[in-house]
Amino acid sequence: MQNIYDVLIIGGGVIGCSIARYLSKFKVNGILLEKYNDVGDETSNANSAIVHSGYDPLPGSKKAYFNVKGNKMMKDLAEELDVPFIQNGSLTIAFNDEELKTLKSLLERAETNGVRARIVEFDELHQMEPNLSDEAKYALFCEDSGIISPFNLTVGLMENAMDNGFKLALNSEVINIEKSGDLYHIITKNNKDYYSKVLVNASGLYSDDLLALLEKPKYKIIPRKGEYIVLDHFNNNFCKHTLFMCPTKVGKGVLISPTTSFNYIIGPSNDLSNKADTSTDSLTINDLKTIASKLIKNINYGETIRSFAGVRANPDIDDFIIEESKVNENLFNVAGIMSPGLASSPAIGEYVANLIKEKLQLEISKNFNPNRRKVLKLSKLDENTYNELIKSNPSYGHIVCRCEKVSEGEIIDAIHRNCGARTVKGVKKRCRPGFGRCNGSFCQEEVIKILARELGCDKSEICYSDKGSEILKFYPKGNK
């Protein structure tokens, strides 16, 4: 019997990768299976990128516990993984005295959850955010809220796990699971068999479907689609904080926030969906613009560079599901990780890893290194350092993406790391070529050439994202 592991994780989103990273602290033979061509290609790829402070979840809930703890862990984790993170604070806006009552109840909840928060009134609020609508009267200010790059966090977690010995299998969609004595027998769509003592279901939108292969789920995932608008990095003073509307029973509503790449994001919508629907439509985008105009006046939508949508794995119970199955021993379900799942991810990863450690009596690895090799960022280099770098490695002097100022050297590095980029989208997520105003019109061809050369394959084999999304079907004569 081959491919026997101590732990097998199904799902390469931020939760699965976080569990893998914290498990890699121990002496463990572990593997993560991901059905797509990269980690973080579903919900973790398309969300608000907010590290919530934890003022909103119901006190005593799993969401409250893991959100508050994860928020406190994020700064150190981002430093260890060299992932962009900014603690910019959030403002939840009230436009009238009735909404002020909601802010006061949220303030009480924040205090119960152990979150620093205070209410600011009109003058201070408009000093903090001069572009706010004149109708904005009050806000709940939470200074510990932050913004992060969700795909770089997911990649960083998995890369660090792999640096410490954890394995990754991409394009490995699970189609069946059986019990084989004390082992779980996992069968994938590409006809590979894996056996594991412990199985972790971190498959996000499909966690209920996956669990149904072994037992009847006690929860159901109800997918909700969120559409977003992205503005270019056109004005450093457009907004500094993450701006929320007052929350309602169906969610936190539309937000406006800077991103770690100094773009601005507006959204999300909140619509019932199917699990695979990431389309956008003009009616929803126009609705977002109408709602956002309540927060900030005179938004310049001429700076729009794209819209996108993500689907959230909302369960039919209003809390995270993080538990060992009562039917199948050593099966851990980590499901329904809706907002604030991104902020909660390090705390969830650590918690589940420790549960498994106790189950398997794992020893701590003395060789564990929490730090990922630094990612060279040309924008942070002074002129002399940059010139010396180009002398030693000329590829850093070849700018491939002019919108985002990304060099060939950065792309090569992103390809050759553990959990490296294999696709155009994978390169885009890691170092941003194609994320600018031209949306890859000028740099995509060059990225394809670099990928083919570095991966040792033909350019026609390079996919945009998943298998089947090859971009080039033929070459112009003489352009091999």
CB-CB neighbours of 329 under 10 Å: 11
CA atoms of 183 and 4, how far apart (whole Å): 9
Locus of tokens 């100022």: 405
What separation in angstroms does the CA of 50 have from each of 47, 194, 258, 283, 392?
Answer: 8, 35, 10, 25, 38
CA neighbor of 26 nearest in space, from 177, 161, 221, 194: 161
Classified as helix, coil or strand, 338 is coil
Question: Phi and psi for 433 in degrees, rounded to 5?
Answer: -65, 130
Side chain identity, residue 126: H
Q: Is the dihedral of CA 372, 378, 383, 384 positive or negative?
A: positive
One-letter amino acid identity for 167? K
Query: Residues 52, 126, 185, 233: which is the catalytic one?
Result: 52
Q: Could you tell me the two tokens for 104?
A: 């006061």
Question: In sequence order, what DSSP letters do the residues of 273-297 get, joined into one string?
Answer: --TT-----HHHHHHHHHHHTTTBS
Cα separation, 111 vs 106, in Å, equals: 9
Q: Give the CA angle between residues 245, 250, 254 to the nearest 5°.
A: 30
Distance CA 9, CA 352 (A): 11
* Phi, psi torsion values for 285, nearest 5 degrees: -60, -40
d(CA 153, CA 84): 8
Q: Supply φ then ψ for residue 143, to 5 degrees.
A: -70, -15
Q: How far apart are CA 336 and CA 345, in angstroms?
A: 12
Angstrom distance (rounded) from CA 397 to CA 5: 44
Strands (E), 106-209: 118-120, 138-142, 146-148, 167-169, 174-180, 183-188, 193-201
416 belongs to the catalytic site: no
| Strand (E) or helix (H) holding 33 | strand 30-33
Sign of the four-CA dihedral 195, 199, 205, 208: positive
Q: Which residues belong to the active site? A: 52
